[in-house]
Amino acid sequence: MISKIKEFKVLGDNRGQLVVLEGNKNIPFDIKRVFYIYGTQPNTPRGSHSHYKTKQFLVVVNGSCKVTLDNGENKETFNLNKPNIGLFQDSLIWGSMHDFSEDCVLMVLADDFYVEDDYIRDYNNFLEVVN
């Protein structure tokens, strides 16, 4: 297995539902950056890169999408379709998000700030680093 899906506890009552995400509790790192992707096109992938050091946790807060993770030897595709399900993406894992529903909002929690030099954007370079 390349990464793992985590199901978060849902709290709520007749007023609605609530999911809590806490760094170093149910998210396995300090959260330094949060961003979200929306308004995507169903046939246009996002991501298609890896990070040297940054770890991420992906949660679809609305709609659905698929995430394919690749460690250079194995690929695994995960269907994110519930707001209480998250996917951990470790460093040096190639990630691609695709098959977005029209209403998809994908939130990403990261353990570091944006640093362009942390990105590996060429798949062949990625393979050289991990092999």
Q: For residue 121, is pLDDT > 60?
A: yes
pLDDT for 34: 98
In tens, the pLDDT along 33-42 reads: 999 999 998 7
Tokens of 23: 């760094």
In tens, the pLDDT along 70-111 reads: 999 999 999 999 999 999 999 999 999 999 999 999 999 999
The sign of the CA dihedral 87, 91, 92, 96 is: positive
Full-model pTM: 0.93
Paired sense of beta strands 56-62 and 46-51, if any:
unpaired
pLDDT for 50: 98
- Has 49 been annotated as catalytic? yes
Catalytic residue, from 6, 46, 49, 98: name it.
49
In tens, the pLDDT along 7-18 reads: 999 999 999 999
Q: For residue 3, is pLDDT > 90?
A: no
Please give the residue range of the domain that contains residue 31: 4-130
37, 38, 42, 43 alpha-carbon torsion, rounded to 10°: -50
What is the domain-level CATH number for residue 110? 2.60.120.10
pLDDT for 27: 95
Domain count, the chain: 1
